[in-house]
Structures are given as C-alpha cells and as structure tokens.
Structure 1
C-alpha cells in the first residue's frame, strides 16, 4: 500500500521540528517505562531456543559503541540486554561483522545532557568504529560529538532534528515521519475524512506535530485536528471530550504508556466506536491490562516490528533472546537494541580488511534495501535517498496491522509512504 504520491513533498516540512517536540512523541517506537516490557499485541507465542547456526567470528574485534538510556528517569535495561544478545549471536553464530568479533563498548546515559555528553566523549576516546544508540532523547547532544570525530552514528529512529539531517547519522526507521505519513495513507484508504491526534501538552509538541501532519493529511484528503492534553491530569476526559467535538472518524494517541492508558479510557466514554490508530506504546502489556483487550481489538497498529509474524527473522529474534537473554522478555521493547546491532551485522558483511569509522561509514552509505530484522517487509537504505530532505533517514516505511481479539497483529501490510 502506498501513500498518495504528493505526501512525499510534505515530508520536507519535518525540518521544522525541534528536539523537544519529537522527544514528546519519541514513544512511537518504544515505551519509556521499565516496570514492564511485555508488548501483548506483539507477543512471541512462547518461542523456545532452537539450534542456531554455527558460524563463529574469528577476526580481530571491532569496537562498537553502544549507548542506552539506563539509570535515570528513563531506564531501559532490556534494550541493552537485547543488544548484547545480538552481539553474542554475531560473535558465536552469525559470523560477526565482516568476520570480526564484536566488542560492545556500553555506556549508560541517564537521559540528561551531562551523561549523554560523557558517553559521547567516551566513544571518541575508545576509538570505536561505529556508535549504536537504539533509543533515547539525547541524540542532539551526542550526534555532533560523535560524528564530529568522524564516527558514524546509528539509531533505530530519530528523535531530534539533528539526528534527521546529519549526513553521518543513520536512522534505520522513519520514526514520527513514517508514523504520520503511514496514518495519513491508511486514513485515505479507510475512507476517513477527519482524524484527531491526542498528544501531551509538553513544550511545542502539539504545534510541531500539527505543522508536520497537516500537509500529509491534507494531501490524503483528510482533515487533521491536534488535541493537546495536559500531561499532569489523571483523567483527560474533559479535554478529550472538547477536542473531539467535531466527531472525527479516527483517533491516534502520541504519548507514553501512561498517556495511552488515560486517553484510551477516556475514549471509551467519549467515543467508544471511533477507529483507533495505535503506536507501539499503546500496545504495551500495562496498557492492555489497564484498559482491557477489547478496547484495542479492531484497532490498527503502526509499528516497526511484528513479533506475531510467521517469519524466519522473527523466529531468529526469539531464539537469540531465548539463548542469550533468557531473563529478558522478548515481547518487550528490547527489539530496538536487537534490530540495530543485527543491522550493523548485515551492513558489515561487505567489509573487508581493517574496519575503521571511514570504512563503516562507506558500508552504511552502500546499504540498499537491507531487511530490518524482525520486521518482515521493512528495509533500510542509508545513502540519503529514502527521504531526500532528511538525509539521515534510511526509511520512510512502516508496518500497518489489524489487531485481533487476542491482541495479535494480523493482515500486516507495508506502507511505503512514497
């Protein structure tokens, strides 16, 4: 399924976004909550470890920087654990990176500029070949330091404008750009004429999302309304009631798990039959437990992973986690770390001889239509052509699925947003 062709022109408007706005909706690929990491709608089905291939890496180790949010207000140990599991798999079973062993240089940043700066400087001091930062809101701080030292920076999705436009940065998915464009395309296909976005009132998030989304939805023939809800209120029913006075045909929520719970509960009162377009945070286990599976059944999911799929890459993910991170829930957001490290392994297959930041940067620039692990149908191309106005984006596609009565994803299609 493709978005209207003219939507690609609207993507240029994303250069208006600043880091503050995008951090607010950074949960489009993950939940900033370590109390539970079980994505019920993307459950693994209880996969057990299977025989993994025997292809150990034998070359000299490559230092790969790995920066994750841990120890601060947002702490996601599962992202680190899944990334380490992927590195262990590459070293013991997957041929490493171009035959070289992976020496993962881990730094935990506490989602504040000081710790992020410390981690970025540590990567430079350690002379790593590439830095992977699967998820976090400090990219605008780290990217200039890391890429300024000539080291490529790779993340799963962009949060800041700096990450989107820095040529030496590579974002494997399109983040909020892909989500909004995918929702606009889906709305047009579904015959939706009016769609409302519910978002927290932090900073200029609502205004920025409106600026980005308006052209996309307009070109799709859909009226867009952005409803800002105070993040401090436990029950946003009054604000959502007022915001949905125009009776939209569909609603999406951009926020963390807590916001998803409060907004979905309010929607059950205000507009129980409205179509729901849900991002990954609204599919997390705490959300389903709080609002009931019947609340999200029948909705559409917009994700960069599909652990419900019967696919070899999904099976491999489950088996790698069962083997190397058995205590980490594979249905949670650990997939972010796994996808980035495994993607580096795929990109690195073309490497020969000594691996340096320069050779790794060249390998990334030559990466074309590389399958994104555990996301059947999604690929990435990091030569700056995926979204020409935003050179760092390696993809603008997203998976769109129906959510069945058991909160599993089905009928998944790729929205290419081209």
Structure 2
C-alpha cells in the first residue's frame, strides 16, 4: 500500500496522540489550526445513504479542550459531524438518535471538574473525551457515577487503569510496542530513544520501553534532551556512543528538526523510526526530504488513502463540517464518536450507561475509523498491565525518497 506523505496538520497533531503521555497538548496547541477546505456547493453534492434512527434519543457526553489557553474547536467539530452522520445516515447508536451534550474544558482542573459533573447531572449514557490532559480529574467523577469514559488515547495513568475507562488507541504504548516489533524484524540489537525532558517523560519511556524492547531482544537506551535546546549535538553524540542500530525521537516538531539535523551531521546513515511530528511538512522543509528518506513511520491515521473508512471520514466532514479542515485534528473527535456508533450496533432496546459499559467491554475487533487496518477490542487484554487500553496497534510504513509512505501495515493488531 502506498500513500503520499502529506499528513500535514493531521500528522502534526497525530503525534500528540501517538505520544500522548509525553507531549500532552504542547505540540497540538502549537499547530492545531484549521482552515476551510470546502464550499457549500461541494458539501451539498456529497451523497451519503439515508438511514435515520427511529429509537428514542439518548444523551452522549462530549468533553472537548476548548475556550482556554488550549483551544481546539476542531475536535468538537469532528465529533459533531460524526453525530450528524449517525443521526441522518448511520442509524444512530443502537437505533437511537444521539443528543450530544457538549462541555468545553480549558485544560485546567476547575473547568474539567465542572464538565465531568455536568456529564453526571445530564445522565449521559457515555462520556467521550477525544483529546485532553485532564483525565486524572475527570475519570473518577465520570466512572464513579457508573458512566463509561471513552478517549482516543491515554494521557494519564488514571485513564489507563480505571475500570470503566476505555482508551481506543494505545498512545505511547502503541508507539513503543510497534517500534520494538519492527526493530526486531529489522534485526536491530541496540535502540536509542531521544526524548524531551517534560515532566517524567524520560522515566516513563524507560519504564515502559525497557521490558517491551527487552522481550524483543533489543537493548534500549533513553537519552533526555532539555526542552528548548537549539542544538542537541551533545545529547545526540552521547546517544550514539554505544553504536545503536536505530533511533527514535519523541518530541514536537522543533525537537524533531534540531535532532534530525544533529543526526545528519553525526550519523547520516542512522536508521530513524519517526512518529508523526517528525514527518510533518514543517520538519521536511527544514531538514530536507532526504534526511528522513528510508525511515520507518509510525502513525495512527492515514488521510491520503482510498480506503472506504478514510473516504467516509472525508465525506462526512465535507457534508457536515465543510469549514473544518479534515487534515487537522478534527479526526480525533470523529474517530471516538464513530467508534461509539460501532459499539452501539450490539445494543438493543433502551440504552443505559450500564449497558453501554457492557457493550464496550464486549467490543471485539471493531474497525478504528479512518485508520485502515487498525481495530480495537476493549476486553482488557490488549495490554493487561493497563486494562483500559483497547489496542496496542499502530500503522508502520516506509518513507521513500520521493516523500511517500508505502508498505503500510498494522503492527500488533492481534
């Protein structure tokens, strides 16, 4: 399978998902802008099947990062477009029309607490939080009321382990598991991670990564690069001292740029395993396409694909959110809501939070929207130490010399 590398803002923001426990919202807030990509006539021309639900409305809660220092309205817009599709074309959730209860939290505890309490007061059947770093505040309130809490990827440990919490993708677990798997296939024996020193990122990567890479027979070295370092040559040199066979960079676009430049000087032929931020056009424009050609890419979304699930995403956004760029981070809201529609197909009769929790727990091998080849299963077995994870899979591909991704495969999807 081959696709262009123009992941654009989608790639940039996907990295905050792919390495959520490391980057939280820093990379997203810096580049989560949206732009118009359609007009009214184009939207009107999109044809979707008519399949309106006939059951009584149910309330689905949405908590979105909006209105504060981190302001990402496109997350909400993607979720709202998905609800419009479910209500007009997709048969609703379990045959019921969806009333979306929206609360905007400003990425600080007070507003997050208010939103979580509002979900309880509104008696929603489930709460979705596509993106945000306030899970540790919200999860206990939502799940404590018996309401399932569903996210796109985990940021806090609370989200990863709390009963009633369901993380549809694996976040940093998926990234590192995928990298370890591909590294073993590539015959890598030593692997170095360059990571920013935000919070306990380096310690977390070391604690998670050492057993994952160790089981693959690979020695892992984690090297910290201070945030804002303009020239990380000393850290890069230190990380190359034991002669690794491959390296990865876990950070935002600025760290990717500075680290790749230093790598090109110190070890131009070094094999690189790159998350989405390091594939962004801002990076390639700065370091040159040749600097990442031959790398392995690890992503959780493919937008330039002819897969039906990707085309449906584009059609839904074109129809119901024509002023929102589908190449931005709107897909996170879309993915979570559409996943709820898939889970809801197993429901019959009146829908309650208890029944929705049971449906999530029994969800098996459901297609992850707009991510061809990725599925999710929420029985707690995807990564047993962190039972809330519904997947540890990721899309891995080869970066070619002409700026394309090819040989795209879903890794660790079983």
TM-score with structure 1 setting the length: 0.87
Preserved contact between residue 369 and residue 379 of structure 1 (Cα < 8 Å):
yes
Give the Å deviation of 1:35: 5.0
Structure 2 Cα separation of the partners of residues 405 and 244 of structure 1:
24
Give the Å deviation of 1:117: 1.1
Match of 2:313 in 1: 317
Alignment of 1:13-24 (within 5 A): 23-24=21-22
Match of 1:281 in 2: 277
Preserved contact between residue 177 and residue 412 of structure 2 (Cα < 8 Å):
no
Match of 1:31 in 2: 28
Match of 2:349 among 345, 350, 353: 353
Give the Å deviation of 1:406: 4.4
Match of 1:330 among 304, 309, 326: 326
Match of 1:64 among 38, 60, 73: 60
Match of 1:170 in 2: 166
Give the Å deviation of 1:259: 2.3
1:151 aligns with 2:108: no
Counterparts in 2 of 1:295 and 1:332: CA distance versus 1, 3 Å: farther
Structure 2 Cα separation of the partners of residues 342 and 387 of structure 1:
23
Match of 2:362 in 1: 366
Counterparts in 2 of 1:92 and 1:342: CA distance versus 1, 3 Å: same
Match of 2:189 in 1: 193
Which deviates more, 274-283 or 261-270?
261-270
Alignment of 1:217-228 (within 5 A): 217-228=213-224
Match of 1:416 in 2: 412
Preserved contact between residue 27 and residue 255 of structure 1 (Cα < 8 Å):
no
Alignment of 1:200-219 (within 5 A): 200-219=196-215
Q: Which runs of 5+ in 1 are unaligned?
A: 1-20, 39-46
Match of 1:306 in 2: 302
- Aligned residue pairs, count: 389
Match of 2:264 among 254, 268, 273: 268
Match of 2:394 in 1: 398
Query: Counterpart of 1:267 in 2: which secondary structure?
Result: helix
Give the Å deviation of 1:72: 3.0
Which deviates more, 276-285 or 368-377?
276-285
Structure 1 Cα separation of the partners of residues 275 and 46 of structure 2:
31
Give the Å deviation of 1:363: 1.2
Match of 2:232 in 1: 236
Match of 1:87 in 2: 83
Query: Counterpart of 2:28 in 1: which secondary structure?
Result: coil
Match of 1:114 in 2: 110
Counterparts in 2 of 1:258 and 1:126: CA distance versus 1, 3 Å: farther
1:292 aligns with 2:283: no
Query: Counterpart of 1:282 in 2: which secondary structure?
Result: helix
Give the Å deviation of 1:360: 1.0
Counterparts in 2 of 1:330 and 1:160: CA distance versus 1, 3 Å: same
Structure 1 Cα separation of the partners of residues 374 and 339 of structure 2:
12
Give the Å deviation of 1:192: 1.5
Structure 2 Cα separation of the partners of residues 414 and 254 of structure 1:
20
Alignment of 1:5-20 (within 5 A): none
TM-score with structure 2 setting the length: 0.88
Give the Å deviation of 1:70: 2.0
Counterparts in 2 of 1:326 and 1:294: CA distance versus 1, 3 Å: farther
Give the Å deviation of 1:314: 0.9
Which deviates more, 257-266 or 298-307?
257-266
Which deviates more, 232-241 or 343-352?
232-241
Give the Å deviation of 1:73: 3.4
